[in-house]
Structures are given as C-alpha cells and as structure tokens.
Amino acid sequence: MTGLALGLLAATLVVAAIDWFAVSRDDTRLEYVMKPLTMVVLIGAALALDDVDGTARTWFVAALVFSLAGDVFLMLPSDLFVPGLASFLVGHIAYIIGLQSLDTSGIGLAIGLVVVLLAIPVLGLRIAKAVHGGDEPELLAPVIAYMAVISAMVVSASASGNPFAIAGAVSFYASDALIAWTRFITDFRWGRTAVMVTYHLAQVGLVLSLV
C-alpha cells in the first residue's frame, strides 16, 4: 500500500468520525460537508492503492461514486429516498461485479447463502411486512429489489473469502437494515449515528479488500 493511500484511508476515518459527531448532534451544516467528503476521500484512497486487481478497483470505484450520490440524495431535506435507494442499488451491483472478478470459494459461497437465507425471515420479511402495511406501500417493490441485490453482494463477498470484504458487506447489510428499521418499523436514539458508523466502516472494509 502506498503512503498516499494509507494517508487517505486514515483521513477517511477522521472525516467519517467528524460526520458521526455531526449526526449525533443533529448538526446539519457540518453533516452536509463531512458526509460526502468522507466518500470523496475514500475514492481517492481506492485510486491510490497499488498492486491491486484493476478490474475490481474500477468496479469498486464505480460503487463508491454511486454511494456518494446516494449519500447526497438521502441527506437532503426533501424526501429523495427512492433516488437514494436506486443509487445504492446500482452501487451494490458494481460491488458484485467487482467481487466476482476476484478469486471465489465454493465454501464461502455456501456460507454466504446460508447467512442470507437466515436473515430473510429474521429481518427481510419483517421489513417487507412493515412497508406493505405502513404509509408507503408503494415502496415495497423497490425495497424488496434492494434487499435482493444487497443480499447478493453479501454472498459475493463471502465467496471471495476476503475477511475485509466479508466484514464490509456484513456491516453494509447491518447499516441498511438499520435504515429500513428506523424508517418503516420504529426509530430509536442513536439510530442515525449507528447507520453512519456501520456504513462508513463497511465502505472502508470493502476498499481494504482490494489490497
């Protein structure tokens, strides 16, 4: 890893921590700067990595760019949940393609499938039921499509056998589950902060899987 990449990864964590503080304090102005800046710095870190698979990095950077777009949509005062959801869905597809370009393990694939199949009745069905019976039933199809794609991303990460990819994918799954839970089921204190912490750690983990 180059010194520049290492420095940018460290800077990513610093900027992310400031964003977590801003979210915990409901400091919107600070969050509007730090949330997108976190992803911009992380994109720089991914581009600065050396001796990595070029195809995987290209798709990972595309995923980070779409994630940045999703961040902007979701943090704006108007409700742009669907554009944000669509941006992250495309980002996950990019991650899947990038992960599939790496070496894969049949055992890892099987483990990933088991984890996802266990999560569906525990989280997926509960969230889908809440969406269907809530104030926004029209979001059911997009939410189900998103859950399918992020589940495929988790399986792809598990199949890679890379511990950073696995940790990143699982953390991403947790972050998105928290978003769905707080929006469609019930909100709770520190919910938004937990979403951002797990989200940023997920993105850093996925980038580190390129090393």
pLDDT of 82-99, one tens digit each? 999 999 999 999 999 999
pLDDT over 70, % of the chain: 100
Task: Give pLDDT tens digits for 1-56.
Answer: 889 999 999 999 999 999 999 999 999 999 999 999 999 999 999 999 998 888 99
The answer on pLDDT for 79 being more than 90 is no
Residue 72 has a pLDDT of 96
Average pLDDT over residues 164-171: 97
> DSSP letters along the chain, please?
--HHHHHHHHHHHHHHHHHHHHHHTT-HHHHHHHHHHHHHHHHHHHHH--SS-HHHHHHHHHHHHHHHHHHHHHHSSS--HHHHHHHHHHHHHHHHHHHHTS---HHHHHHHHHHHHHHIIIIIHHHHHHHHHSS-GGGHHHHHHHHHHHHHHHHHHHHHT-HHHHHHHHHHHHHHHHHHIIIII---TTHHHHHHHHHHHHHHHHHHTT-
Residue 111 has a pLDDT of 95
